[in-house]
Structure 1
Amino acid sequence: MSKDYPIPAGFLERETEIKKSRFIARVYPVSDRDEVREHVARAHQEFPDARHVCWAYQIGRPGSAAEAAMNDDGEPSGTAGKPILNVIQHKDMGDVLVIVIRYFGGIKLGAGGLVRAYAGAAESVLSEVGREVQQTRAQALLRFDFADEQPIRHWCENNEGVVEEIGYGSQVQATISLPEAGVDDFSAFCEARKLDYRFET
């Protein structure tokens, strides 16, 4: 389903070093919990000797996410997953997972230092990753005469509409996808030409 809020445009990785500890931060676009599990499992496989693989994600619209979770993976409670999630929540981005892999460098950072380190690592990827917004789209089912096909295609070209399927019989049947913002204009166009149309719910 298309989204009308920003999501990460793709995968990005950044590495920072704090007091000899390495923090490898990764950001991914995710649409469900299964994808989160896969990415986390892959990070454990790729970095088997890392001390911690901490993460946080939120799925859904920023500010009212349908789902969010975090994991400290052995770091003191609240010093890893929560700071990562806090950074995500301040970025106005949905459907996002951040994993931070830590290699311990022998110098303890303390609770405050860990919070700053994990938040900083999350910030390093989230501030650089591209964003994309996919507008919510509507689908219309139409039946019309052959003479109406060209005007319909013309409307689509000028209004970001896409003819997804078309079939020819005694009448033409078509499925058209269009930005939700254009639904009223499309309805007016169809009614002016007396076209048989309905929107899929």
Structure 2
Amino acid sequence: MPVVAETEEKKSRFICWLGPVTDKAAFLCQLETVRARYPDASHHCTALVIGNPGNPEVMQFDDDGEPGGSAGRPMMELLLKQGIGNVGAIVTRYFGGTKLGVGGLMRAYRGAVAAGLQSAELETHVPIMSVKITCDFAGESRLRFLVSQSGGTCGEAHYSDKVRVAVSLPQDQWSQLREKLLSEGFSVQEET
């Protein structure tokens, strides 16, 4: 759920919008919404991290007229340092009449995002994996039960001389489920 947090530095107001983002186009739409809400603001600086923060699919920032590297970069670096992905931050600045200098701007923009993070409810991302498991007919209901117990779901089943079931489950549950299936005599054939 998006949050909005406000900070102040030497009479300049910094309003941070921070929210979940998995699509760059949706983030750009959100930026336009923020610009429309605060049309008289001096700057709307952004940071965007989509995907795993250790190896993001999309990672970008924009200083929106502030001195290069003084706004968007420290915002993005804070998100990455905190290990937060699939997130976008927009910090709107109302200039208060006192110049902050590059170091002051970096602290102020980073601080605005930090205030947003304090208000946010962060969720741990657990990668989901998909596999196809083959078993005999007698084992299908037990397979479905064990997958359910592991937090997974069974999808479409294909029947021939065996049953092949599409399974989606949290990646960290796969080795335990696989071990359980093998210990119960299942002939498990993985197909990713």
For the criterion TM > 0.5, the same-fold answer is yes
Report sequence identity in percent.
34
What pairs with 1:179-198 in structure 2 (closer than 5 Å)?
179-190=170-181, 193-195=185-187, 197-198=189-190
| Higher alpha-carbon deviation: 100-109 or 185-194 | 185-194
Could you tell me the TM-score, scaled by structure 2's length?
A: 0.82
Is 2:119 the partner of 1:119? no
Q: CA deviation at 1:143?
A: 4.8
| Higher alpha-carbon deviation: 167-176 or 154-163 | 167-176
Q: 1:185 to 1:77 in 2, by over 3 A?
A: closer
Q: CA deviation at 1:15?
A: 0.9
Q: CA deviation at 1:185?
A: 4.2
Q: CA deviation at 1:160?
A: 2.0
Task: Name the structure 2 match of 1:72.
Answer: 63
Amino acid at match of 1:27: L
Q: CA deviation at 1:171?
A: 6.1
Q: 1:189 to 1:79 in 2, by over 3 A?
A: closer
Cα distance in 2 between the residues matched to 1:173 and 1:87: 45
Could you tell me the TM-score, scaled by structure 1's length?
A: 0.79
Q: CA deviation at 1:43?
A: 1.6
Cα distance in 1 between the residues matched to 2:160 and 2:82: 51
Is 2:191 the partner of 1:199? yes
Task: Name the structure 2 match of 1:24.
Answer: 15
Structure 2 unmatched ranges of 5 or more: none
What pairs with 1:83-98 in structure 2 (closer than 5 Å)?
83-98=74-89
The alignment of Structure 1 onto Structure 2 pairs a total of residues equal to 191
Q: 1:89 to 1:194 in 2, by over 3 A?
A: closer
Is 2:90 the partner of 1:99? yes
Cα distance in 1 between the residues matched to 2:179 and 2:102: 61
Amino acid at match of 1:22: R
